[in-house]
Structure 1
Amino acid sequence: MSLIDVEDLRVCFPKAGVRAVRGVSLSIEAGECVAIVGESGSGKSVTARSLVGLAGQGAEVAEVTASRFAVNGRDALRFGARDWRRLRGRFAGLVLQDALTSLDPLRTVGDEIAEVLATHDVVPRAARRERVIELLEAVGVPEPEMRARQYAHQLSGGLRQRALIASAIAASPPLIIADEPTTALDVTVQAQILRLLAARKAEGTALLMISHDLAVVSAVADRVLVMKDGVIVEEGPTGRVLSAPRHDYTKLLLAAVPSAVSRGTRLSAIAAGGIALRTPLPERTVDHAAPILEVSGLSAAYGSRTVVDDVSFEVYPGETLGIVGESGSGKTTVARLVLGLLEPASGEIRLGGDPWSGIRERRRRSRRSRIQVISQNPLDSFDPRYTVGRLVAEPLRGASADRGSSGGVPSGNAFPPGGSSGNGSPRGLSSESGFSRAAPFRRGSSRGALADRVAELLGRVGLPADVAGHHPRRLSGGQRQRVAIARALATRPDVLVCDEPVSALDVSIQAQVLDLLAEIQAADGTALIFISHDLGVVHHVADRVLVMRGGRVVEEGHVDEVFFLPRHDYTRELLGAVPKLVSAEP
């Protein structure tokens, strides 16, 4: 008997008029891993959530129909709310992408896991604490006794995800549904999570994995279902689907995977004669005459803990510098130092040859426009009250007015709540555009000029002008990231700090964003500092790379040299943890 046996599954949201899933059929056997892949909006997550009665509720009530919907041999079409509650946790454990929002912020991690044990009466009350510690140990959480007493916000992303998995497996369910379980994790932690899931599978647990990372899928899945627009367009054994795809959409997904081979070409391929073809990116020139950013002997600490230790590097106009390393290596702290959001304990940063660190914010403010940030989760960095147009216009308003502290920090989520966007004086704006370095935007022609400039910026990142009137929550993840890029470009910066800018995006949207960044860089000569845990992405975009561990740079050099001929053991460990895609490059 299959654990899941569904035929002609259809899920629609009547209020929104959306048919999210249209005629999906699938089965899952004990000890089998089935993966569903596809871009955002394809219906992957809705399909998975339907299997545990979570397709939609509240204002987003879903209508679920099927010609057959058997869960553990029972007719799920007859289930009530109580039936679904009993099934969740005991029959199926759910692991979501964002552990921070999945875990209760008001309870410790230990209490969260213990609730599953209590709800399903897994062990007696007296034995629950010991079982919680065993579960945390089983998922590789160090110092489990201490971690069990901590709250989710006190843990790193990797530890939160492992705690969530511990909660999902607490009742030893025969099925685990993992929806993007490794997306936000660095490669070493990702490898640990994949080994953990593979071990559960070897013990007979079935896995349903939702992922946009085709290499992760190839590492654990037995079968793959490829979804597009709510329909399965291709399915079969993992090796066959990823090495010899039959559907054009599958071929385009595979062509969008970044790697060393894809360097210099667009990841957004086109289908021609049943073959996915990549075209060259526009030529990019690196100006080695003088660095735009110089970092020398940089160190920083949080309390008594040193998080950045003697880091030095230079970045030249038009160049992309990649920074890689596992969580806690100091990558993001370096970004915050470079952005002028933290002051170093020692060392110096120079922007355009002039001091950038160790000076008063008043001296820095007029040059804030020259360095901007694109963050991992733009929705968290946007003021929820603002429309897209106001978000994109805000740096321009602040730049022209040069208003006190409101012009003090770059755009993005690298600043504390309540801060404003990256401002300073926008460079390169012609007098015809109606913008002035000195005068703030006022009513009349300048307001029209501002609207025109916003429309121009949105058009540059591939968004229609009418998006300016929307709120970001109405946009897709890829569209929101394009808004973040338009906002960062508003002041025409010399340096863009990209902190995990595509890690939350599916492979096809990631391809579009990376292609867009390459086009902007080629046209403007912008320097990029590209921080990512995805080594394939870094190999595709970067000229040089720094490998960080424990706050120090352990290896640096040209990206091909470092990734093909690594000298440091840690670099070899990182590269060895990267899952390999079974398909050949197109």
Structure 2
Amino acid sequence: MSSEVLLAVKGLSVHIGSRPLLRDVSFSLRPGEVLTLLGESGAGKSLLAQAVMGNLPDVLRAGGEVSLLGAVSRADDARARRPRWGRSLALLPQEPSLALDPLMRIAPQLAETHELVRRLDVKAAEQQARVGLAAAGLADAARQYPWQLSGGMAQRAAATVACAGGARILLADEPTKGLDAHWRNQTVAMLQAVQRDGGCVVVITHDLRVAQALGGKLMVLRAGEVVEEGDARTILAHPQHVFTRQLVAADPARWSKRAPRLPGATLLHGRDLAKSYGENRLFDGVDLHLRAGERMVLQGPSGTGKSTLGKVLLGLLPADRGQVRRVAGLAPTAFQKLYQDPVASFAARVSLERTLRDVAKRHVCPWSTVLQRLNRLGVPEALLARRPSEVSGGELQRVALARVLTARPALLFADEPTSRLDPVSQQEAMAVLLDAVDECGAALLLVTHDDDLAAAVGQTFRRLQAEPGVSE
């Protein structure tokens, strides 16, 4: 292995005012090496990646040093590293919706990266874009806008754009969340290809299968501090720190199966449902029956219309064909959705407390009940003073769960509700969700790509298949 150090971080810290959010993190990576960051939601993993990039919000202050290909700069000197963005240093952020331009189609976005970063001419850039999208299973989505893609497709598109510049240092924040097993493995292979080509990778993930597959170095963060680090496979097999042991023990593969309830009266019946977007047929001839208290798991490859089917059942989208019958006599708010992308479901300029208080008032729910639920989800009350962009993805996902349960739904469509959570938070959040729906006898329609989670939670199962000729 080369002795050249591609990325070195020394004494990295992040503060908001006088309060530390990340403390004294140091590591170095050479060509072919990978560092995986595990830890609780809100531990500072994404802050670390943003600090290395030099892309922290103005209210945050970084300390320490960052060395890129031998060029050393202060962690708070963002200008020193910005010229390297895309060329030698690239970031795949946690939220694809924030990484892709909503006003540009996917193929032109990717071609623009090849043209501006790699200096290819227009024709060559367009050709490389076609090749990249085909490799990501997105050939049929080349002319679509980001908002027309499923969550998994948007994740793959963002990853393809992030890697297009050929940067030797790649920071990947939750690159496999919301992906089925096939595309999770493909993403791991993409990260390994960066290593084989002489680059290095920092991967933030909650998925222990990804950490195991990548191997290399592992660092575990809790409350902004490194609590354990070393060889990934050694730590995962024999964790030493009590929190690392909790993470490993909380993997969904180790969960006990939640005892099923006896289903009650019919809440919803969908018959012969079909939906297409343009020439892209998502699903056809779907029959689905949901009863009070039932926990149904909806699975299928990325892009097969799972989220769209949920919107049709809730009345948020019309079906092209078929009929949805919902039980009469329920409030208009009785059918609720927990969104896959929590950032897009919150008002950006409003504090989390204001949002939750408005929802509590609308549904006549005591504020003390909201706070009790947040406490069970591990969300401190002080966090509510912030805006959605000022908390981690996992923290926002837990707040979103507390918000939707405040409405006391009769049917909850939960679209990848724990995809941004570490295993410990994931287990706690699912326990809160299941307790809440059991208490009120609600039906749960759960979308997840995690087979272990599905097996532990589900009572009945439905799978959507890719239509012939549609990329998965």
Q: Which of 314, 325, 347 is residue 300 of structure 2 equivalent to?
A: 325
**Using the alignment, how far apart are the partners of 1:469 and 1:75 within structure 2?**
37
Deviation, 1:106, is 4.2
The residue identity in structure 1 corresponding to 2:5 is L
Cross-structure match for 1:510 = 426
**Using the alignment, how far apart are the partners of 2:380 and 2:80 within structure 1?**
48
Matched, 1:530 2:446: yes
Q: Which of 230, 239, 250 is residue 245 of structure 1 equivalent to?
A: 239
Deviation, 1:31, is 1.1
The residue identity in structure 2 corresponding to 1:455 is S
Q: Which of 87, 93, 96 is residue 99 of structure 1 equivalent to?
A: 96
The residue identity in structure 1 corresponding to 2:175 is P
Fraction of identical pairs, as percent: 29
**Using the alignment, how far apart are the partners of 2:247 and 2:446 within structure 1?**
23
Matched, 1:180 2:169: no
Deviation, 1:249, is 0.7
Kept in 1: contact 2:5–2:69 (CA 8 A): yes
The residue identity in structure 2 corresponding to 1:94 is L
Deviation, 1:528, is 1.0
Cross-structure match for 2:213 = 219
Kept in 1: contact 2:111–2:129 (CA 8 A): yes
| CA deviation string 1:552-583 (max 9, x = no partner) | 9xxxxxxxxxxxxxxxxxxxxx9xxxxxxxxx
Matched, 1:30 2:23: no
Q: Which of 327, 335, 339 is residue 310 of structure 2 equivalent to?
A: 335
Q: Which of 291, 299, 316 is residue 291 of structure 2 equivalent to?
A: 316
Cross-structure match for 2:368 = 455
Matched, 1:393 2:360: yes
* Cα pair distance change 1:391/1:468, threshold 3 Å: farther
The residue correspondences of 1:112-511 to structure 2 (distance < 5 A) are 112-120=109-117, 122-123=119-120, 127-142=124-139, 147=142, 151-259=145-253, 261-264=254-257, 286-288=261-263, 290-302=265-277, 306-352=281-327, 367-383=331-347, 384-385=349-350, 387-393=354-360, 395-396=362-363, 450=364, 453-462=366-375, 470=385, 473=388, 477-478=393-394, 480-511=396-427
The residue identity in structure 2 corresponding to 1:177 is L
Unaligned runs of 5+ in 2: none
* Cα pair distance change 1:193/1:513, threshold 3 Å: same
Cross-structure match for 1:432 = none
Kept in 2: contact 1:391–1:487 (CA 8 A): no
Query: Aligned residue pairs: how many?
Result: 461
Deviation, 1:530, is 0.8
The residue identity in structure 2 corresponding to 1:393 is A
Secondary structure of 2:375's match?
A: coil
* Cα pair distance change 1:342/1:13, threshold 3 Å: same
Cross-structure match for 1:45 = 46
Larger Rg: 1
**Using the alignment, how far apart are the partners of 1:123 and 1:486 within structure 2?**
48
Kept in 1: contact 2:257–2:455 (CA 8 A): no
| CA deviation string 1:352-397 (max 9, x = no partner) | 4x5xxxxxxxxx7x5424432222234422345471343323542x
Deviation, 1:251, is 0.8
Kept in 1: contact 2:15–2:22 (CA 8 A): no
| CA deviation string 1:459-497 (max 9, x = no partner) | 245379967984653665555444444443345333222
The residue identity in structure 1 corresponding to 2:30 is E
**Using the alignment, how far apart are the partners of 1:174 and 1:203 within structure 2?**
8
| CA deviation string 1:434-455 (max 9, x = no partner) | xxxxxxxxxxxxxxxx4x6233
Secondary structure of 2:428's match?
A: helix
**Using the alignment, how far apart are the partners of 2:331 and 2:146 within structure 1?**
37
Deviation, 1:204, is 2.8
**Using the alignment, how far apart are the partners of 2:7 and 2:275 within structure 1?**
55
**Using the alignment, how far apart are the partners of 1:300 and 1:132 within structure 2?**
28
* Cα pair distance change 1:495/1:62, threshold 3 Å: same
Kept in 2: contact 1:90–1:172 (CA 8 A): yes
Deviation, 1:322, is 0.4
The residue identity in structure 2 corresponding to 1:454 is W
Kept in 2: contact 1:97–1:184 (CA 8 A): no
Matched, 1:12 2:9: no
* Cα pair distance change 1:551/1:518, threshold 3 Å: farther
Secondary structure of 2:83's match?
A: helix
Deviation, 1:499, is 1.8
Kept in 1: contact 2:394–2:421 (CA 8 A): yes
**Using the alignment, how far apart are the partners of 1:296 and 1:223 within structure 2?**
51
Deviation, 1:152, is 3.4
**Using the alignment, how far apart are the partners of 2:192 and 2:92 within structure 1?**
15
Query: Once superposed, what is the RMSD of the aligned Cα atoms?
Result: 3.4
Kept in 2: contact 1:300–1:344 (CA 8 A): yes
* Cα pair distance change 1:139/1:205, threshold 3 Å: farther
The residue identity in structure 2 corresponding to 1:237 is D
**Using the alignment, how far apart are the partners of 2:280 and 2:316 within structure 1?**
18
**Using the alignment, how far apart are the partners of 1:475 and 1:370 within structure 2?**
28
Deviation, 1:542, is 0.7
Kept in 1: contact 2:152–2:303 (CA 8 A): no
Kept in 2: contact 1:285–1:525 (CA 8 A): no
* Cα pair distance change 1:52/1:305, threshold 3 Å: closer
| CA deviation string 1:35-76 (max 9, x = no partner) | 11112222222222333333x25x23523224xx43212323
Q: Which of 56, 79, 84 is residue 81 of structure 2 equivalent to?
A: 84
Deviation, 1:29, is 1.6
Matched, 1:60 2:59: yes
The residue identity in structure 1 corresponding to 2:200 is A
* Cα pair distance change 1:17/1:40, threshold 3 Å: farther
The residue identity in structure 2 corresponding to 1:20 is L
* Cα pair distance change 1:161/1:457, threshold 3 Å: closer
Secondary structure of 1:204's match?
A: coil
